[in-house]
């Protein structure tokens, strides 16, 4: 019997950190007390899904989140640098008011041209898009016929959804802490992104390939 080529990924944004509201990027803070408290809620949300693999960004906030899921499922965590948030360069660690005070001209350009330009000294957005698509394709290749949880960052999830979107505005895609989205790939084609609310999921409007 031919094995299934269908791969299912559940994309999870890490839990809350004390740097909420700032350009965290590749700075490496741990979860906050609020974030640690969110982990039980996250495991409850994922309780109806049977996963065989857990992948995570190697940044601490994602790793801690992934380990909480892994402990529930008795699975190892595979850490991937390719799942890191976009690097925000000289803006990392700053909030928006600080960015505007530091470089008002670039801040205005970023507002006007987002997501087509990067932060100063930050990762190029075309490179970031390709990094994320390659990472997701690689994971899907490894888990054919199975389901993987992928713990990562808001920018990664928004960018991946934007890679697949043919209409709608992916920059307006809401991505809360411990939010979860389910997506499948079969015959090299990615499906509609769905938000996981509990053990069920529903289609996110405007994010169909």
pLDDT in tens, 130-150: 999 999 999 999 999 999 999
Q: Which residues are catalytic?
A: 14, 85
The whole-number pLDDT of residue 64 equals 98
116: in domain: no
115: in domain: no
The whole-number pLDDT of residue 167 equals 40
Tokens standing for residue 39: 């982990």
Sorted by sequence, the CB contacts under 8 Å of residue 148 that are 6+ apart come out as 7, 8, 9, 10, 51, 52, 53, 54, 55, 139, 142
209: in domain: no
The whole-number pLDDT of residue 169 equals 47
The whole-number pLDDT of residue 152 equals 98
Q: What CATH code is carried by the domain that includes residue 15?
A: 3.40.50.1240
Average pLDDT in the 157-175 region? 69
26: in domain: yes
Which residue reads 């995570």 in tokens?
A: 56
What's the mean pLDDT when you consider all of the chain? Answer: 88
Calpha distance 22→97 (Å, rounded):
10
The whole-number pLDDT of residue 205 equals 35
pTM of the model: 0.89
208: in domain: no
Q: Is the pLDDT of residue 207 over 50?
A: no
For the chain, the straight-line distance linking the first and the last C-alpha, in angstroms and rounded, comes to 29
105: in domain: no
Q: Which domain holds residue 22?
A: 7-86+124-203
104: in domain: no
The whole-number pLDDT of residue 209 equals 31
98: in domain: no
pLDDT in tens, 26-35: 999 999 999 9
- Indicate the number of domains in the chain: 1
């Amino acid at each position: 019997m031919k094995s299934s080529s269908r791969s299912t990924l559940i994309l999870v944004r890490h839990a809350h950190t004390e740097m909420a509201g700032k350009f965290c990027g590749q700075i490496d803070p741990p979860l906050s007390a609020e974030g640690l408290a969110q982990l039980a809620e996250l495991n409850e949300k994922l309780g109806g899904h049977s996963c065989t693999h857990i992948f995570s960004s190697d940044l601490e906030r994602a790793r801690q989140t992934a380990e909480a899921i892994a402990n529930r499922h008795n699975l190892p965590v595979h850490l991937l640098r390719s799942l890191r948030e976009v690097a925000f360069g000289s803006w990392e660690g700053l909030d928006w008011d600080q960015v505007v005070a530091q470089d008002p001209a670039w801040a205005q350009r970023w507002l006007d041209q987002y997501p087509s330009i990067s932060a100063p000294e930050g990762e190029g957005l075309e490179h970031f898009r390709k990094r994320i698509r390659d990472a997701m394709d690689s994971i899907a290749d490894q888990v054919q016929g199975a389901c993987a949880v992928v713990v990562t960052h808001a920018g990664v999830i928004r960018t991946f959804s934007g890679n697949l979107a043919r209409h709608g505005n992916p920059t307006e895609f809401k991505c809360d802490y411990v939010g979860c989205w389910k997506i499948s790939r079969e015959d090299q084609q990615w499906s509609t992104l769905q938000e996981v609310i509990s053990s069920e999921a529903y289609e996110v409007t405007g994010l169909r390939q």
